[in-house]
Amino acid sequence: MLGLMDLFAGGALSTFSIFALGIMPYITSSIIINLLTVAIPHLEKLSKEGENGRRKITQYTRYGTVGLSIVQGFGIAWGLQQMASPTGAPIVLNAGWPFILMTIITLTSGTSFLMWLGELISEKHVGNGISLLIFVGIVTRLPDALKQTIAIFDSTQLLMLVLFAVVAVLTIVGVVIITEGQRNVPVSYAKRVRGMKMYGGVNTHLPLRVNMAGVIPIIFAISIILFPSMIAQFFLTAKSAILVNMANGVIGLFSNNIFYGVLYFLLVFAFTYFYTEVVFHPDQISENLQKQGGFIPGIRPGKPTAEYLKYTTNRIILAGALFLGLIAVLPMVLNSVTGITTLAIGGTSLLIVVSVVIETNKQIESQLTMRDYEGL
C-alpha cells in the first residue's frame, strides 16, 4: 500500500517530504464522490445541473481530500512514533500530540497545494492537472531505476534486458490501442421544420470507448487485495494463539504469487465492469437522444436503445477488462521471468503515462485549432 502511495507521490513518501501524501487523497475522494453520486439522489441531481452542479461536487471533493489527508497524516505520524531505528532508539525524538498535529498540518497543506496546482493547470487547458502531476511523479523515478540497473548490469543479463525492452514497447503499443480504441455507434437525427428552416437530417456516431474506466479498477483492486494482509498484521502480536495462526495463514496466503496474481486479475476484471456501470448510463443517453430527435438506425427509441447500448458496451468492455487485468499482473510475471527487479514495467504507471501524453496532446491540438495555429 505504501509503495502505491509512493508511486502517486513521485517518491515523496519514501523521502518523507511535505508532499508525502501526494495527490492520492484527491484521487480517492474523487472516486468516493463518483460512487456516492449514484447512491445519493442529491448528488445525482447536482451532477445534472450543469456548471453550477459540477462546481458544488468539486467543492465536496476538496472537502473530502482535506478530510482524507488529515486521517492519513494522523496514521503516518502515529506509525512513525511506534517505529525504532536498528539500534533501538525511537525515530521520533519528541513524540506526542505536538508532533502528530505538526505532521497532519504539514502533510495536509502539501496535498492541498498539489490539489490547487492541479486544478490551476486544468483551468489553463494544458492537460488534466491531476494526471500531469502523477505523470511527472512517475517519470522522475525513471533515472534512478536506470541508474540502479546499470550499476548491477551483468553481460549474462543482456538477453533478459532485450526481452524486457521488447515487452516494454509492446506494452506501450497495447496501452495506446486500448486507450484510443472505441466503437462508433451510428446515430441519425430526424429532419424537423421550424418556420422556413429545416433542422436535423444529419448522420453522426456515438463513440463507446473500450476502456471507459481508465486506471480506476486497478486502484480499487489494489486497495481491496492489500486490506486482508494489513488487518492480519495487527493480530500477529495478539495473545490468542488462534488469532496469531489465522493472521500468519492470511499473510502466507497473500504472499503466494500465484494466488495473489489470480485474485488481482479477477478483481481488476470485475471492477472494470463495476466502474463502467457507475459512470456510463445507457438510459440517460437514450433519453437525451430521444429529446434531440436522434435514433440508432434499426433500433427503436427509448428502452430498446438503452438495452442495445448496454449490450454493446458489455461486449466491447470485455477486451478492456482483460487488458487491464493483464497490465496489472504484468510486473509480477516479468520480474519472475527476467529476474530484473530494479526496472519494473508497472502496468499502472505505463497506463497513466501514455494516457496523459495522449490527452495532453489532444488538448494542445484543440487549443491550436481554436487559434488557427498549425498543429503539432
Domain boundary residue among 114, 140, 166?
140
Task: Specify if 147 maps to a domain.
Answer: no
Do both 331 and 285 map to the same domain?
yes
Specify if 145 maps to a domain: no
Q: Could you tell me if 280 and 211 are in contact, meaning their C-beta atoms sit under 8 angstroms apart?
A: no
Of 144, 160, 148, the closest CA to residue 339 belongs to: 160
Q: Where are the alpha helices (DSSP H) in the chain?
A: 2-8, 24-39, 41-47, 51-82, 97-123, 129-139, 142-151, 158-180, 216-234, 241-255, 257-279, 282-291, 303-338, 347-370
Sequence letter at residue 358:
I
93 and 210 co-located in one domain? no
| Together in a domain, 194 and 328 | yes
Of 140, 167, 190, which marks where a domain is finished?
140
Looking at the structure, tell me whether residues 183 and 65 fall in a common domain: no
Cell readout for 128 is 488534466
Instruction: Give the Cβ contact number of residue 37 at 10 Å.
Output: 20
| CA–CA dist 285, 129 (Å, integer) | 28
Contacts of 75 (CB under 8 A, 6+ apart): none
Does residue 146 belong to any structural domain of this protein? no
Q: 110, 140, 170 — which closes off a domain?
A: 140
Phi, psi at 328, each rounded to 5°: -65, -40
Return the pLDDT at 34: 79
CATH code of residue 248 = 1.10.3370.10
Backbone angles phi, psi at 208, to 5 degrees: -110, 110
Question: Is 54 inside a domain boundary?
Answer: yes
pTM: 0.73
Could you tell me if 111 and 158 lie in one domain?
no
217 occurs within a structural domain: yes
Which residues pair with residue 197 across a beta bridge? 194
The per-residue pLDDT for range 107-138, each reduced to its tens digit, is 999 999 999 998 888 888 777 788 788 888 77
Do residues 54 and 171 both lie within one domain? Answer: no
Q: Tens-of-pLDDT digits for all 376 residues of the chain?
A: 666 666 666 666 777 788 888 888 888 888 788 778 877 888 878 877 777 888 888 899 999 999 999 998 888 888 788 777 777 788 888 888 999 999 999 999 999 999 999 888 888 877 778 878 888 877 877 777 777 767 766 666 677 777 777 877 888 888 888 888 888 888 887 766 566 665 556 778 888 888 887 777 877 787 778 778 777 877 777 778 888 888 888 888 888 888 888 888 898 899 888 888 877 888 888 888 888 778 888 888 888 888 888 998 888 999 888 988 888 888 777 777 666 555 555 566 777 788 788 878 877 777 777 776 565 5
| Per-residue confidence (pLDDT) for residue 69, from 0 to 100 | 92
Rounded distance, CA 93 to CA 281, Å? Answer: 54
Full residue range of the structural domain in which residue 159 is found: 153-376
What pLDDT digit, counting tens, does each position of 32-70 carry?
887 788 778 888 788 777 778 888 888 999 999 999 999
Claim to verify: residue 131 and residue 162 sit in the same structural domain: no
Please indicate, yes or no, whether residues 131 and 191 belong to a single structural domain of this protein.
Answer: no
Residues 128 and 257 in one domain: no
